[in-house]
Amino acid sequence: MYSLPFAPLFLLLSSACVASSDQKVLQETTDSSCHNACQALSLSLGSLTHVGLSPSHGQKFFATQQANLIPACIFTPSSPRDLSVGLQTIKSYGCHFAIRSGGHSSATGWSNSDGGVSIDLGEFKDVELVKDGIARVGTGAKWGDVFDFLEPFNLSVVGGRVSDVGVGGLILGGGISYISRRYGWAIDNVKNFEVVLANNSIVNVNQDSAPDLFWALRGGGNNFGIVTRFDLQTYTQGPMWGGFNFHLMSYSDLTSRQSRLNLTSTSSLPYVHSFISNTVSLIWRALCVLGYCIPVNTFFETWQNTTIELANNLHAANTLLSFAYVADVNLHLGCTIVHYTSTVGGPAAYGSISKLPKVYNTYRNASIRDFCDEQKRVNLAGSRNLWLAATFRLNSTLISHIYNIFLSETPSIRLVRGGGAGVNFQPIFLDTIPHFSKNGGNPLGLFAQKEPLMMFGITIKWKHEADDAAVHAFGEAFLQRAVDEGKKMGLWHPYIYQNYAGKGQDVFEGYGEENRKRLREIRGKYDPEEVFGRLVPGGFKI
Ligand SMILES: Cc1cc2nc3c(=O)[nH]c(=O)nc-3n(C[C@H](O)[C@H](O)[C@H](O)COP(=O)(O)OP(=O)(O)OC[C@H]3O[C@@H](n4cnc5c(N)ncnc54)[C@H](O)[C@@H]3O)c2cc1C
Give the pLDDT confidence score for residue 275 in this predicted structure. 85
* CATH classification at residue 247: 3.40.462.20
CA-538 nearest atom, ligand 1: 49
Q: Are residues 142 and 114 in the same domain?
A: no
HEC profile of 347-395:
HHHCHHHHHCCCCEECCEEECHHHHHHHHHHHCCCCEEEEEEEEEEECC
> Are the CB atoms for 331 and 10 separated by under 8 Å?
yes
Q: What pTM does this model have?
A: 0.94
Distance 499 CA to ligand 1 centre (A): 6
Mean pLDDT over 168-190 rounds to 97
Is 344 a residue whose pLDDT tops 90? Answer: yes
Does the residue 5 lie in any domain? no
Q: Are residues 93 and 226 in the same domain?
A: no
Q: Are residues 84 and 51 in the same domain?
A: yes
Q: Are residues 259 and 175 in the same domain?
A: no
Tell which one of 61, 100, 165, 385 to mutate to probe ligand 1, the residue whose CB is within 8 A of the most ligand atoms.
Answer: 165
Does the residue 531 lie in any domain? no
Task: Round to whole Å and give the CA distance between 184 and 176.
Answer: 8
Q: Are residues 290 and 426 in the same domain?
A: yes
Phi, psi of 235 (to 5 degrees): -135, 150
- For ligand 1, atom 42, the nearest C-alpha belongs to 226
* CATH classification at residue 133: 3.30.465.10
CA–chain centroid gap for 433, Å, is 20
Q: What is the pLDDT of residues 524-535, one digit of tens each?
A: 999 999 999 999
User: Can you tell me whether residue 481 is helix, strand or coil?
Assistant: helix
Give the pLDDT confidence score for residue 274 in this predicted structure. 80
Task: Round to whole Å and give the CA distance between 408 and 240.
Answer: 39
Does the residue 375 lie in any domain? no
Mean pLDDT over 249-271 rounds to 83
CA-174 nearest atom, ligand 1: 11
Q: What is the pLDDT of residues 152-171, one digit of tens each?
A: 999 999 999 999 999 999 99
Mean pLDDT over 481-494 rounds to 98
Q: Are residues 298 and 408 in the same domain?
A: yes
End-to-end Cα, the chain, rounded Å: 22
Q: What is the mean pLDDT of the chain?
A: 93
* CATH classification at residue 90: 3.30.43.10
Q: Which residues line ligand 1 (CB under 6 A)?
A: 1-3, 62, 99-105, 110-111, 121, 139, 160-162, 165-166, 168-170, 172-176, 222, 226-227, 379, 499, 538-539
Residue ending a domain, among 97, 120, 143, is: 120
Q: Are residues 212 and 295 in the same domain?
A: no
Does the residue 150 lie in any domain? yes
Q: Are residues 182 and 317 in the same domain?
A: no
> Are the CB atoms for 392 and 454 separated by under 8 Å?
yes
Q: Are residues 66 and 214 in the same domain?
A: no
Residue ending a domain, among 71, 91, 120, is: 120
Q: Are residues 137 and 228 in the same domain?
A: yes
Task: Round to whole Å and give the CA distance between 108 and 106.
Answer: 6
Cα distances (angstroms) measured from residue 415 to each of 130, 265, 466: 54, 11, 11
Does the residue 489 lie in any domain? yes
Q: What is the pLDDT of residues 205-255, one digit of tens each?
A: 999 999 999 999 999 999 999 999 999 999 999 999 999 999 999 999 999
User: Can you tell me whether residue 60 is helix, strand or coil?
Assistant: coil
Task: Round to whole Å and give the CA distance between 190 and 181.
Answer: 16
Give the pLDDT confidence score for residue 19 in this predicted structure. 30
- Say which amino acid occupies 464: H
Phi, psi of 511 (to 5 degrees): -75, -15
Q: Among 263-267, 512-516, 530-534, which stretch is predicted with the lowest mean pLDDT? A: 263-267
Tell me the pLDDT band of 273, cut-offs 50, 70 and 90.
Answer: confident
Q: Are residues 346 and 407 in the same domain?
A: yes
Q: Among 51-65, 227-241, 269-283, 475-489, which stretch is predicted with the lowest mean pLDDT? A: 269-283
Q: Count up the domains in the chain and report the number.
A: 3
Residue ending a domain, among 105, 120, 135, is: 120
Distance 286 CA to ligand 1 centre (A): 41
Mean pLDDT over 429-436 rounds to 95
Does the residue 438 lie in any domain? yes
Give the other-Cβ count within 10 Å of 362's Cβ. 14
Q: Are residues 220 and 348 in the same domain?
A: no
- Give the count of alpha carbons within 13 A of 121, CB side only: 32
- Say which amino acid occupies 12: L
Does the residue 521 lie in any domain? no
Task: Round to whole Å and give the CA distance between 292 and 290.
Answer: 6
Range of the domain at 436: 10-15+239-366+383-511
